[in-house]
Amino acid sequence: MATIKDIAKRAGVAVSTVSYAISGNRPISEEVKKRIRQAMAELDYQPNPMARALAGKGTRILGLILDPLDRSLGITEIDLLSRAAEAARSMNYHLTLLTDDSRNLSVLEEIIADKLFDGFILMEIHKEDERVRFLSEKGLPFVIIGRDDRTQDFRSIDIDFQKTAEQVLAHVKEKGHREAGFINQSLNAFNRGYGPAVAMKASLEDTARRLGIKLDTRFCLPSREEGENVAVTLLRDNPALSVLLVMNDQALPGILKGISALGLSVPKDLSLISLLSSSKLAEMFHPSLTHMEIPSRELGWHGVCRLVEILEGRQENRGMILIPGTLHIGESTI
Amino acid sequence: MATIKDIAKRAGVAVSTVSYAISGNRPISEEVKKRIRQAMAELDYQPNPMARALAGKGTRILGLILDPLDRSLGITEIDLLSRAAEAARSMNYHLTLLTDDSRNLSVLEEIIADKLFDGFILMEIHKEDERVRFLSEKGLPFVIIGRDDRTQDFRSIDIDFQKTAEQVLAHVKEKGHREAGFINQSLNAFNRGYGPAVAMKASLEDTARRLGIKLDTRFCLPSREEGENVAVTLLRDNPALSVLLVMNDQALPGILKGISALGLSVPKDLSLISLLSSSKLAEMFHPSLTHMEIPSRELGWHGVCRLVEILEGRQENRGMILIPGTLHIGESTI
DNA sequence: CTGTTAGCGCATTCAG
DNA sequence: CTGAATGCGCTAACAG
């Protein structure tokens, strides 16, 4: 590997000149710059990230903090992940996966202590997430994908639940439905203040009221069995219900089973819309599901972009980034 | 952050002593060691990875090389990924996602040039994968998840296609089936020498012959439409066919549609087994699919473990690691 | 067994 | 505008 010294020699200048030529922290004459550029090209020089980091600049490594992985990481977060990695790459950063138990603050402390990461992306934010406070106090660069009331707006990237709700309910109303059911995530997730469970419920109920749609909301554990139970109960309680909104991927198979157990068929007797799930998944079902696609790719992309903006000190944009889901019509609605 | 100097001072010894105490590269008296350990604890010292790297040791960062992400990364690789990250973590390494176009060797060269990574994990190996040769020549530590004939065995972690085939066909035979269909991945994948498409076909056909099962193999693009077409043709051509093996997740919905289009029902008229797909996915279907679960988690785990073994010079185990799929009985077979 | 010291490659003072 | 020298934190000779 060529070092900065090599290229300085080759260009006939001092190392510092090369350094400044690269960073642009000091005006360098065009002529010298040209020579340097050429030398760099010829030796295909690449600054050693370690040395650079040691000397006080960053590592250009970003840490994506995930919850310990056993349970989470569905098809949804993979899209987020891949776009995030892509974004990082395109801005010349690296993305590494942090799967330690970051909610244990002493673990988080260890992670940040080794100064390997220039910044962090936090996911799966809960109400009053201690990690947010912790990172803020330490003054570390980070963004969150999700919502936390005490975070400065420019640090948040989240789903636009309100718009998502409006869009799906507008569609529902347009199709003539007047009574809808909403199968949310688990009560536990809701109580923990998990963004989607809380915000989607609020937005949906609020919007339904405004549109004059009757909405019955139920919580549901992410399992086939629960899906079946909840669907059956919900439908028994609301005989006039004609459309079901589901934001619970794991429960979907059970819900479908429950529906057919009641002798109903989708979409003839009942329309079904999956909320914030990935298209890949929605299309696996038969009939394929009408769904509001979760903007995971955008979340990943913007998360990284915003973090890099912060790192590089250009905060043109101080607002929160909100991205709505996208409606895809499948075969599960009429 | 406390540096090695701080703890040396606090323990009343020289920095080198601390360094040696940590690395164990030199005998240190118990007493001194104790003092050092205490100082480290009190200042909760953590060696700066960059400095360590610059001084010639590794970075303890592993690079997981993925194909550019748009198309790949299904629910399968996410399991692999998560386990890999977990494994890395447990051995005190970091895992970063490399999504550059590594098949472009000059891009790969750039990646390895900055010496940020101690080793690499390659996925999606094709026949005569140039990257394998390239990394070998450079003498860089790496392992592949997949197969390449010219790779030393101890560098490979792969699915045990033979055992997988034997297991699934034994089950098939036991259930009394005599004629089976196999819907493979695309012809294109097969021609590129993509491991699963090639090896599974060979193992399945070989094993079927030995067991006296008639097997009709078809290629199929990973799409709903193709799935439907291929299923219909296959079933028309083989009226006596009673079980379908499918190694093509994306085509599954189409295949099921094709089956019912022919007026057949699963599992009454036809059994269906999905090969090497994730349980999460198989359980999404209705009826839930009997499947050979892909050992993605084990692949990820062992991939990292083996790489670390290589990095740390302990190659107890020189053989190739082969992991078979696991049979899960669902509702799609009788 | 322990201490001193010279780099690793780069950014950045401080002098020209 | 440019160059020489210093230090980032750590490892590994080299000397006791």
B138-157 pLDDT tens trace: 889 999 998 887 777 889 99
H helix runs in chain B, sequence order: 4-11, 15-23, 30-42, 49-54, 75-90, 105-113, 130-138, 161-174, 187-191, 195, 201-211, 224-237, 252-261, 279-282, 296-311
CA B199 to CA B205: how far, in whole Å?
10
Query: Which residue in B has a C-alpha nearest to residue A53's C-alpha?
Result: B50
Write down the pLDDT at residue B199: 95
Write down the pLDDT at residue A124: 83
Name the residue with tokens 């185990």: B317
pLDDT in tens, chain B (334 residues): 789 999 999 999 999 999 999 988 888 999 999 999 999 999 988 889 899 999 988 899 999 998 875 555 677 778 888 889 989 999 989 999 998 888 889 889 888 888 899 999 999 888 888 899 999 988 899 999 988 877 778 899 999 999 999 999 999 999 999 999 999 999 999 999 998 999 999 999 999 999 999 999 999 999 999 999 999 999 999 999 999 999 999 999 999 999 999 999 999 999 999 999 999 889 889 889 999 999 999 999 999 999 999 998 887 777 899 999 999 999 999 8
Number of Cα atoms under 13 Å in the Cβ half of residue A2? 16
Return phi, psi of residue B283, to 5°. -85, -10
Q: Is the shortest CB-to-strand distance from A53 to strand D under 7 Å?
A: no
Instruction: Pick out the nucleotide with least CA–C1' distance to B17.
Output: C2
Write down the pLDDT at residue A72: 54
* DSSP-assigned states of every residue in B87-148: HHHHTT-EEEEE-S-TTSHHHHHHHHHT---SEEEE-S--TT-HHHHHHHHHT--EEEES--
Residue nearest to nucleotide D11 (CA to C1'): B55
Beta-strand relationship, B61-65 and A156-159: unpaired
Q: Is the shortest CB-to-strand distance from B315 to strand C under 7 Å?
A: no
B50: nearest CB among A50, A66, A285: A50
For A:255-294, CB contacts with B below 8 A are 256-257, 280-281, 283-286, 288
Residue nearest to nucleotide C7 (CA to C1'): B55
Write down the pLDDT at residue B153: 80
Per-residue DSSP letter, A155: G
- The separation, in Å, between residue B35 CA and nucleotide C12 C1' comes to 36
Using 70 as the pLDDT threshold, list the residues of chain A that sit under it. 69-73
Q: Is the shortest CB-to-strand distance from B31 to strand C under 7 Å?
A: yes
CB pairs under 8 A between A and B: 139
| Closest C-alpha among A44, A58, A47 to residue A18 | A47
Write down the pLDDT at residue A69: 59
Residue B252: its chain A contacts at CB < 8 A?
Answer: 284
In angstroms, what is the C-alpha Rg of chain B? 25
Name the residue with tokens 């390449």: B148
B77/A contact by beta carbon, under 8 A: yes
| Closest C-alpha among B3, B49, B100 to residue A50 | B49
B48/A contact by beta carbon, under 8 A: yes
- The separation, in Å, between residue A2 CA and nucleotide C10 C1' comes to 13
Write down the pLDDT at residue A91: 93
Instruction: Pick out the nucleotide with least CA–C1' distance to B46.
Output: D9
Q: How many Cβ atoms are within 10 Å of A68's Cβ, its own excluded?
A: 17
Q: How many Cβ atoms are within 10 Å of A197's Cβ, its own excluded?
A: 21
B115: nearest CB among A1, A86, A256: A1
- The separation, in Å, between residue B106 CA and nucleotide D6 C1' comes to 36
Pairwise CB contact (< 8 Å): A116 & B50? yes
CA A41 to CA A28: how far, in whole Å?
18
- The separation, in Å, between residue A26 CA and nucleotide C12 C1' comes to 11
What length is written for chain B?
334
**Strands lying side by side in the sheet with A61-65:** A321-323, A156-159, A142-145, A119-122, A61-65, A94-98, B94-98, B61-65, B119-122, B142-145, B156-159, B321-323
In angstroms, what is the C-alpha Rg of chain A? 25
Residue A96: its chain B contacts at CB < 8 A?
Answer: 61, 94-97
- The separation, in Å, between residue B57 CA and nucleotide D15 C1' comes to 24
Q: Is the pTM of this model over 0.75?
A: yes
